[in-house]
Amino acid sequence: MRLIKKKKIVNEDVRIDFFTVFISSACYTGYAPAASGTFGSLFGLLFVLIPGFYNPVALGTLILIFFFAGIVTSERMMQRYGDDPSVVVLDEVVGMWTTLLVMSAFGVEITFASAALSFAAFRLFDIFKIFPAGYFDRMKSGFGIMADDVAAGVYGGLLTFLFVKLYYLYF
């Protein structure tokens, strides 16, 4: 479990194209000086401000597209930055979207409180890597980079649903 990953270059000879950097770093949020995963997650959460984004079909489609784009771009970034590069935060974006998709599937309305709770729940599970996230994290591949955050997103969405349900049950 690493709260803050150091940015490092393991092979300076590897050149990465603009598209790969732009996509994998989620519009350069991965280059934040610290806590790049947190910034990537916040970037993913901001998309709920776009009308229609919370639609399960639209969200599911975007998750699939960017999951596979993340596999390809993460593999390339690993050649320059090593295993699980801190500059790659597309996985956090897709993980946050997965949290929102699970919430949507259970009918949780997006409010400021539920969005904040979903963010906190996703980050919690992303940091602690409960199975199968830890298994995927140890794969050291583009698929592993993306899949561990999707697993954390599923857990985050379920925890958010549970808290929202309990809140409405007792308050």
- The one-character DSSP state at 49 is G
Q: How many CB atoms lie within 10 A of CB 132?
A: 15
pTM exceeding 0.85: yes
- Asked if residue 44 lies in contact with residue 118, where contact means CB atoms within 8 angstroms, the answer is no
The 3-state DSSP composition of the chain as helix, strand, coil percent (nearest 5) reads 70, 0, 30
pLDDT tens digits for 48-80? Answer: 889 888 899 999 999 999 999 999 999 999 999
pLDDT at 6 over 90: no
Domain ranges of the chain: 18-170
* Per-residue pLDDT at 12: 84
* Per-residue pLDDT at 122: 97
Q: Is the peptide bond before 56 cis (omega within 30 degrees of 0)?
A: no
* Per-residue pLDDT at 3: 54
CA distances from 104 to 42, 50, 56, 88, 131 (A): 18, 15, 7, 26, 23
- Asked if residue 91 lies in contact with residue 141, where contact means CB atoms within 8 angstroms, the answer is no
Backbone angles phi, psi at 26, to 5 degrees: 50, 65
Strand locations in the chain (E): none
